[in-house]
Structure 1
Amino acid sequence: MNATIAMITFRAMLGRRRAVLLFALPLLLAVLAALMRVLDASDLDTAAAVLHGFGFAVLLPLLALIAGTGVIGPEIDDGQIMYVLTKPIPRHTVVLTKLAVAIALVTVFAVVPILLTGLLMAGGTAQLAPAFAAGALAGGITYTAVFVALAVISRNAAVIGLLYVLVWESLLGNFAPGARSASIQQWALSVTDALTPTSYVHASVDLPVAAPLLVAVAAAGAVLAVVRLRSLSVVAAE
């Protein structure tokens, strides 16, 4: 971790137009939860449906995409990253710092709102709220690592990430069991499924399979980002 890089990255993320989305998406979830509460429709089934259907399927991946691509993508696009690469800072430190900032943003703007929404709608029933929060944290870390790697590899990282979320996880995931099983969302949901006894949460992948996949994909994303960033420094030096 590099404190200076982290501080600059936080300041840049919270000062851009991206910050509007960081605040807007959790606000939508809060409004939806409050509306369900007012309408007295916040039973366990509804709470699980909202947390999965909006929290896991929309809020978590989109915020991870915004944070993961935003912490490093713009710097690569405008060439500012070369200023960092000329400093005596190991490339893995740069990547891990950017990744840590992105994970912190996802935790604050996605995981915490999911936890609070679960508590608002279901209270402590069936440990639904902490179970969804744990799953969101596990999935958020993996999503973020993948999107940071995409941001280092491609200038079209946001588009590629959005296609993955909308086409692979949302569209194909509803019709193709294979696509659903190879989904970060389902792997994260398996964590939630293992932590709550309610039958309203059901993942397509068992936890003994999903947990190693979450760790492996997150690690692969971080390693790939480091390797690619090292090649950027070589190109700049030449």
Structure 2
Amino acid sequence: MTYCVALRLKAGLVMLSDTRTNAGIDSVSKFRKMFTWCVPGERALCLMTAGNLSITQSVITTLQEQIDDPNFVGDTMLTAPSLYRAAEILAQAMRDVMAKYAEGINSAGENSGASIILAGQRKGGKLRLYMIYSAGNFIEASEDTPFFQIGGFKYGKPILDRVVTEETSLEDGKTAAMLSMDSTLRSNLAVGMPLDLCVIPTSKYELSEYRRIEAEDPNFRALSEAWSQELRDSFVKMRAMPK
């Protein structure tokens, strides 16, 4: 299990993912779920993955091999003329990997399902946020739905529904993503630290933030504790409300 959240705001993109992967209570590991490509001043891309780890790792490897191969014919994530085209490339890689491995994985009694979030901006284009499914189909975030989640997302969704709009600032977006993750960490043992954070401001074509947040990070811990206290205080205030 994992949890990844991405916000598409007018001010930019905010992406946050955990790193826990488990295949049972006695097999818990850490794997990066966030991957980035950046050509400063031209494009910045961020991918986050959830689901079958072998599938998503194969997809990422396929995309990177296309970039690294000087004889590759066709568009890559770094040469695609639009983010929509980049989403198509990613979707095709997903279809190819699923066609190669999914039947064998499913026949072994395992779940081959996977999903990937693609976020980014290319010079001359708009901020884009896509969700790619196992079948290779995908959808794009809209004004009505300015965020996507993958993995164990149900515990972290309520605050996003109440707080996040396209007008939300980057700093507030980061706070909302962090609190969404904190709620998930507290309620879902299959999601765990450390976290990876990526921020892409509008029309900057670069990663203004790309860092790992460890379990002992004092800022994240303070945010978590302050949020818990605010919830307790608000609950107390609700006692006085008419029932």
- The question of a shared fold, defined as TM-score above 0.5 by the shorter chain, is answered with no
- TM-score of the two chains, using structure 2 as the length reference: 0.25
- TM-score of the two chains, using structure 1 as the length reference: 0.25
Whichever structure has more helix as a proportion of its residues is 1
Using CA pairs under 8 Å that are at least 6 residues apart, name the structure with larger relative contact order, 1 or 2: 2
Whichever structure has more strand as a proportion of its residues is 2
